Structure 1
Amino acid sequence: MSHELMFFIGFIIFIVLMLAIDLGMFSKSDKPVSFKAAAIMSAIWVLFALGFAAILYFWGNELHNIHDFARLNEIIEKNFHNIKIIPDDLAASIHIYNKNLSLEYLTGYVVEYALSVDNIFVMVLLFTSFGIPEKYYHKVLVWGIIGAVVLRCIFIFVGAALIAKFGWILYVFGGFLVITGIKMYLDRNKNEEVDPQNHPVVKFMSKHFRVTPKLDGGKFFHVENGVKYMTPLFLVLIVIEFTDLVFAVDSIPAIFSITKDPYIVFFSNIFAILGLRSMFFLLVNIIDKFHYLKVGLAFLLIFIGLKMLLHSYLEQLGFTTVHSLIVIVGILALSIIASLVFPKKENYSEN
């Protein structure tokens, strides 16, 4: 068994155990998740994500079984790591590699976590549009995130294979992200709406399966006269999964701009996705306060897209992962600070 596979299996086992604990805390009964519980789990997921960065910092070379210069050079070339090793000092070279690997992971994590916030805007809109009571949010998000983990895994390793075989696809990803960022900026003030009856996923499901407009408690399916029907709870789950696929088209290429190592892309992506559920309950009632966040995310996508398009020139100028992390954190911090300093004006109507 390869080191990559062992590392990957160990990571999956850890995630399954932690997700079971998370679900045990949140899913004992159908009731709204408290702000305190959401804050605790959000903090725990962030701490685990940072702990994993520490593991990569000290033992990242074990991921690809790097114990000599030949293997180190092979992995650096394969994954396009922008680092310089010390030819006469293996220990120092491995330390440089590990440090860069942990930085790539952290940068990818920050990018994915930030883009996940935009996902929260859409989730709130979907739950409201489908008339889902707050006490059922957690059940839908449980299954939604489990599905997202599986789909992201497939997307990431397929994307890595495409990049390895067709290097020019990075420029396609870069151009797509720039266009997406510009579109997000231009649409920043548009009021998003969802029409459940005319949503393409709902129309498809209604056409090919039995669907009932009535909720049956927290059940995904309702049985009437021996016939099984999909409830609105199941429909909103399918729509959320579909929406995550759309978001993955942006977020996964974005992380590939930070690192080409598919395992690091996967680790950073999954940690951010797993933290999304608790972050949803933490931000659901205050998300509108950060009205400049969409502007920040738009500039973030544009920056990442340009970085992919100009990566060879940036490397010649000495632009490293550290610089990317500084720019990304700076963009997000400015958007949050601007939202707090210049709060959104409320429209008051006189009676």
Structure 2
Amino acid sequence: MLDVPFWLWSVFAVTVVVSLAVDLLAHREAHVIRFKEAAAWSAVWIGLALVFGAVVFLVLGTAPGVEYTTAWLLEKSLSVDNLFVFALIFAYFEVPRAYQHRVLFFGVMGALVFRGLFLAAGVAVVSRFTAVLFVFAVILFYSTYKILKGEEESFDPGRSIAVRLLRKVVPVQDEYAGMKFFVREAGKRVATPLLAVVAAIEAADLVFAVDSVPAVLAVSDDAFIVYTSNAFAILGLRALYFLLAGLLDRFHYLSKGLALILAFIGVKLILQASHELFSSSIPEIPSPISLAVIVTVLAASVVLSIRHPGPAGTAAPADRDEDSSAHGSAGEQPPIRETRSRDRRRKDD
């Protein structure tokens, strides 16, 4: 484990808290996030992550710096898959574009907490039971298979455990009420669909953690490296979503590239575990090679997608009904008809 000075942990914590506060203040009013704004915020988050990476290089050394950069880029690339699910959730609940940033903001806060818990547990397990790396490799290989077969697209937001539990705990009305999560209805406190969307986003992140946690632990088993890299990748997830909204379908080779990355990381885990458990003569894949492979696969996926466009598809869900979703905080929003009809069908069952 790295000997990380307390002040570096403090710098990281203050940076994350200040970043969230600035982001919340900058988007306290409901509005549609345009491409230029998303590009500017993406540059801020990427720059912040790279500056922190430079600090890691200077303070902890070259090897930890490479591990941080590799883990950050790996998590950043895997998060692209999250964007497709976010678009699916927003379409399912008919979330107005003006409210989507607020949903993702709270989703990021939850992800920072849950990823921290999962990564801490993962580091503790790996440090005591090296053989668990074989299990992680199997998980990554299975995820690769699902992506190549297209099975990851079967996610149903309305049937996620988080959304179903929410509906059992508190009534959820059909109409949006601005950016409010709760309103008074007939003297009772009820949730708005916006809270259900946050629950669906959190449930989706828990699913994605099954892939990302084993993957990042293949890069490093140090708690500081794995959590800080994950945190900075997650912080830029909102801006990345709005930056790529409407363009996701154009990068149709990207999912195949992500599958190759997961398979590569799975092989890395097997070699790492075999090296530690069976023989030191079994080679390991060093972090610089992992970084090079990730960069190469991502670049190739983007270039192939541009040079060989797929079939023309429909607009991304985030781009639909832009005019009708750009209202401020008014509550006259369309009801979530699909959600309501599915709920009725479940009740009838």
Name the TM-score, length of structure 2 as normaliser.
Answer: 0.83
In the alignment, the residues of structure 1 paired with residue 313 and residue 228 of structure 2 have an alpha-carbon distance, to the nearest angstrom, of: 43
Map of 2:23 onto structure 1: 22
1:81-123: CA deviation from partner (whole Å, max 9, x where unpaired): xxxxxxxxxxxxxxxxx11110000000010000111001000
* 8 Å contact kept, 1:178–1:303: no
Letter in 2 for 1:29: E
**What SS does the aligned partner of 1:229 have?**
strand
Listed as ranges, the gaps of 5+ residues in structure 1 are 61-97
1:37-75: CA deviation from partner (whole Å, max 9, x where unpaired): 111110111111111111111111xxxxxxxxxxxxxxx
* 8 Å contact kept, 2:69–2:229: yes
Map of 2:211 onto structure 1: 250
User: More displaced, 254-263 or 310-319?
Assistant: 310-319
User: More displaced, 162-171 or 233-242?
Assistant: 162-171
**Which of residues 303, 306, 321 is equivalent to 1:337?**
303
CA RMSD in angstroms comes to 2.0
In the alignment, the residues of structure 2 paired with residue 233 and residue 333 of structure 1 have an alpha-carbon distance, to the nearest angstrom, of: 36
Map of 1:205 onto structure 2: 166
Letter in 2 for 1:40: A
Count of residue pairs brought into register by the alignment = 307
**Which of residues 126, 146, 151 is equivalent to 1:163?**
126
Letter in 2 for 1:38: A
- Shift in Å at residue 194 of structure 1? 3.5
Map of 2:9 onto structure 1: 8
| Distance of aligned partners of 1:340 and 1:149 in 2 relative to their CA distance in 1, 3 Å threshold | same
* 8 Å contact kept, 1:57–1:101: yes
Q: How does 1:221-236 map to 2 (within 5 A)?
A: 221-236=182-197
Listed as ranges, the gaps of 5+ residues in structure 2 are 315-349
| Distance of aligned partners of 1:161 and 1:319 in 2 relative to their CA distance in 1, 3 Å threshold | closer
- Shift in Å at residue 266 of structure 1? 0.5
In the alignment, the residues of structure 1 paired with residue 219 and residue 157 of structure 2 have an alpha-carbon distance, to the nearest angstrom, of: 36
In the alignment, the residues of structure 2 paired with residue 156 and residue 201 of structure 1 have an alpha-carbon distance, to the nearest angstrom, of: 21
Map of 2:47 onto structure 1: 47
* 8 Å contact kept, 2:67–2:225: yes
In the alignment, the residues of structure 2 paired with residue 326 and residue 304 of structure 1 have an alpha-carbon distance, to the nearest angstrom, of: 13
Map of 1:36 onto structure 2: 36
* 8 Å contact kept, 1:296–1:335: yes
In the alignment, the residues of structure 2 paired with residue 200 and residue 319 of structure 1 have an alpha-carbon distance, to the nearest angstrom, of: 38
| Distance of aligned partners of 1:7 and 1:194 in 2 relative to their CA distance in 1, 3 Å threshold | same
Name the TM-score, length of structure 1 as normaliser.
Answer: 0.83
Letter in 2 for 1:129: Y
- Shift in Å at residue 22 of structure 1? 2.1
Letter in 2 for 1:160: V
In the alignment, the residues of structure 2 paired with residue 155 and residue 108 of structure 1 have an alpha-carbon distance, to the nearest angstrom, of: 15
| Distance of aligned partners of 1:138 and 1:314 in 2 relative to their CA distance in 1, 3 Å threshold | farther
Larger relative CO (CA 8 A, sep 6+): 1 or 2?
2
Map of 1:322 onto structure 2: 288
**Which of residues 99, 104, 110 is equivalent to 2:73?**
110
- Shift in Å at residue 215 of structure 1? 1.2
User: More displaced, 140-149 or 13-22?
Assistant: 13-22
Map of 1:177 onto structure 2: 140
* 8 Å contact kept, 2:148–2:256: yes
Letter in 1 for 2:35: F
